[in-house]
Amino acid sequence: MNSRFYFNAVLIIFIFCLPLNLMAQSKEIEQAMENLSENSAMDIDYSALIEELEALQLHPINLNSDGLETLYQVFLLNEEQLENLQDYILNNSHLLSIYELLLIEGFNKKDIETLMPFVEVKPIEETSLPTLNQFSKYGNNDFFIRFQRILQNQKGYRYDEENTNDSYYLGSADKYYLKYKYSYARQFQWGVTAEKDAGELFFKMPKNNSSSEIDSLFQKGFDYSSFHLYAQNLGFIKQLVLGDYHLLFGQGLTLWTGLSFGKSADATELKRFETYIKPNTSATENGFFRGAAMHFGKKRWSSVIFYSKNNQDATLQTNDNGKEYVTSFTNTGLHRTSNELQKKDVLSLRVFGGRFKYTFKSIALGITAYQTQLSKDLIPTESPDNIFDFRGNILSNYGLDYAFRWRKAQFYGEVALSSNGGKALLSGLSLPFSSRAKISLLYRNYGKDYQNLYASALSENTNPTNEKGIYAGTKILLSKKISLQAYADFFSFPWLKTNQDSPSQGVEYRAQVFFETSENVQMHLKYKYKQKETNTKSASNPELQFLKNQTRTSWQYQINYRISERFELRNRIEITQFTDVDLSRSFGYMLYQDLNYHSFNQKFSANMRLAVFNTDNFASAIYAYENDVLYAFSIPAYYGEGIRFYQLLNYGFSRKIQFWLRYSLSYYPNEDSIGSGLDEIEGGVKSEIKGQIRIKI
């Protein structure tokens, strides 16, 4: 790329232009999303987290009531603040004012200002079933309609009569999203979510196709739909759900289907605080339960029973006897071609079980047991790295989790067992030395034969299996305006993995310093280093493979500064270096400028970003959170050489009607095409338009 391009790009990036802040997601959430996207090989739907924040603004949590763990889950409280607040309420009966938090260790004036939009303080009221008149008068109805489309013509939409059904997309390039939710306080909620992805069929068959096979697979309407009916705080019944839902138990080693961040978020906040049951409101098409669940109990004990029967996308094969079996699950949720349609909902999963938890004065014990039944045998194509993976059609899982306090130290963990005899262990310690320093330690040992389809515990692997590790994290307040977060994670894989033909190991370090020079200026500097072993071929004998280190290093500096009550600017520069097993190096950098604006009457807000990036390849790609329409999210990988721009506008016509419009553009001046396969675009420009309207009644 020539010097003139760089000069113009850097000049443009610092020109003043109109900006935004749509919805105040915390910096911790944005950082957690970026890190999780960088560490994960799959797309993750963060909309449930965003929706939880928005719901808290609409229906604040009473600090005197149960459910304070929700504030921890959305990063509004840290673990120490949550534990100290719960202890204070236990010893003092209740809070009289939110400013009473200043009497509790770990809280300051800034923390109270952050909490204010999401909490309230009032006496505990006995819950009772509302009347039909109250449902009608005080309930909230929310409608969302979203449209999204890539403006360039992708290869998959260029139909050729000589092509097969798998060489083009059957539907249009439009993506539709529909969501309706009714809520009454925080007690009742029901809703419907529906989505049609780009490339999927909608109401009619394509004119250029008359395949009877596709006709038999295609069902008119939205490709995906979800429904839930949820209630909580019904006296003896704490939670009740019908339809689609998630279960979040213990530390996630036995059963956890909701979003979790692990080491990708705060360096010391590793302990999970279970929320038992959550209704499914996202557009992720796999990984949730469909059926019914109930959480009931009294002050010291509670229990959950659940049943689910849901379909799963999968790849089918037929054996010599004509019997069908599954070789692998498919979790993309995309059904754009004949081949993808053939994988849709071909496997039925029935899951049922329960959980019991008892809380003593300073210790809590939980027991979880459930069974998963598959309608067809799961038989993966056998290879040395997967010989311990689950095979068959019935899998049982059991777990025991604990949490207790000794003085200021928090101990927690979980032991899990699968029906084949596989074991897994997780044990953690959280120790605040003072209000200025805290350390967290976590040991994990997941057996190579531990089998679980619904676990989500802290791990380097996608699933908690075939891994040992020790994690140490710290948070230190160096001064009133400077703080440090850092962690080191040492991990090993006792058995083989993909691209690792023998047991291997690795290490990850991260250190981040936060500076707050004034109320209007905040900065941070982050360093991250990761090393893993992977296969490499011998130069003298290409058939011989052995392990060598592969490393990735990154530096990130960011500054946020509010220049007035309406305008805020944000700058970031990030540099990465990736060293492969052959010692070849690839470099990358990304520089962006955000400009944020919101009007005095709060009706209008805007956000703009202009980013310049240059990475040698995808191995040195950089991830950055982007603001999006409400309940959507965008965390693209910046790689290659080019410029990325997006503009987000939000306008409230009234209290009942809001509108969002988002336009994004990526420009690669030295590329003849973008993407690959059916997603390929001719030329060096890729742009997308997204519009959303919300109607509240």
pLDDT tens column, 44-67: 556 677 777 777 877 888 888 877
The per-residue pLDDT of the chain, averaged, comes to 88
In a domain, 37, yes or no: yes
Whether 74 and 5 share a structural domain: no
Q: What is the CATH number of the domain that holds 77?
A: 1.10.150
Whether 219 and 195 share a structural domain: yes
How does residue 29 score in pLDDT terms, banded at 50, 70 and 90? low
In a domain, 256, yes or no: no
In a domain, 674, yes or no: yes
Whether 81 and 195 share a structural domain: no
**Angle, CA 129 vertex, CA 127 and CA 135 arms, to 5°:** 115
Q: How many domains does the chain have?
A: 3
Whether 136 and 163 share a structural domain: yes
In a domain, 589, yes or no: yes
pLDDT given at position 667:
97
* Maximum mean pLDDT: which of 130-134, 232-236, 358-362, 471-475: 471-475
- CA 138 from chain centre, in angstroms, equals 32
Whether 526 and 622 share a structural domain: yes
pTM across the whole model: 0.89
Site of tokens 């993976």: 389
**CA–CA gap between residue 650 and residue 653 (Å, rounded):** 10
Q: What is the pLDDT of residues 217-253, one digit of tens each?
A: 777 889 999 999 999 988 899 999 999 999 999 999 9
In a domain, 506, yes or no: yes
In a domain, 250, yes or no: no
Q: Which domain holds residue 69?
A: 57-130
In a domain, 414, yes or no: no
Q: What is the pLDDT of residues 279-315, one digit of tens each?
A: 999 888 988 999 999 999 998 999 999 999 999 999 9
Element (H, E) at 308: strand 301-312
Q: In whole angstroms, how far apart are CA 590 and each of 18, 526, 619?
A: 22, 14, 14
Q: In whole angstroms, how far apart are CA 244 and each of 28, 205, 253, 547?
A: 29, 29, 22, 44
Greater confidence, 338 or 196? 196
Residue that finishes a domain, picked among 130, 150, 182 = 130
How does residue 14 score in pLDDT terms, banded at 50, 70 and 90? very low
Mean pLDDT lowest for which of 261-275, 299-313, 620-634?
261-275
Q: What is the CATH number of the domain that holds 623?
A: 2.40.160
Residue that finishes a domain, picked among 77, 106, 130 = 130
Whether 142 and 196 share a structural domain: yes
Burial classification of residue 203, based on how many CB atoms lie within 10 Å of its CB (0-12 exposed, 13-18 middle, 19 or more buried): exposed
* Maximal CA-CA distance, the chain: 82
CA atoms within 13 A on the CB side of 437: 3
Q: How many CB atoms lie within 10 A of CB 96?
A: 12
Whether 606 and 526 share a structural domain: yes
Whether 99 and 195 share a structural domain: no
Q: Does 198 have pLDDT greater than 80?
A: yes
Residue that finishes a domain, picked among 102, 130, 158 = 130
Q: Contact, 362 vs 405, CB < 8 A?
A: yes
If you write DSSP's letter for every residue of 568-633 in order, what string do you get?
EEEEEEEEEEEE-TTS-EEEEEEEEEEEEEE-TTSSEEEEEEEEEEEESSGGG-EE--B--STT--
Whether 17 and 136 share a structural domain: no
Q: What is the pLDDT of residues 570-597, one digit of tens each?
A: 999 999 999 998 889 999 999 999 999 9
Whether 186 and 86 share a structural domain: no
Mean pLDDT lowest for which of 45-54, 66-75, 328-337, 475-484?
45-54
Whether 135 and 86 share a structural domain: no
Q: Does 68 have pLDDT greater than 60?
A: yes
Q: How many CB atoms lie within 10 A of CB 545?
A: 16
442-463 mean pLDDT: 95
Whether 637 and 516 share a structural domain: yes
In a domain, 4, yes or no: yes
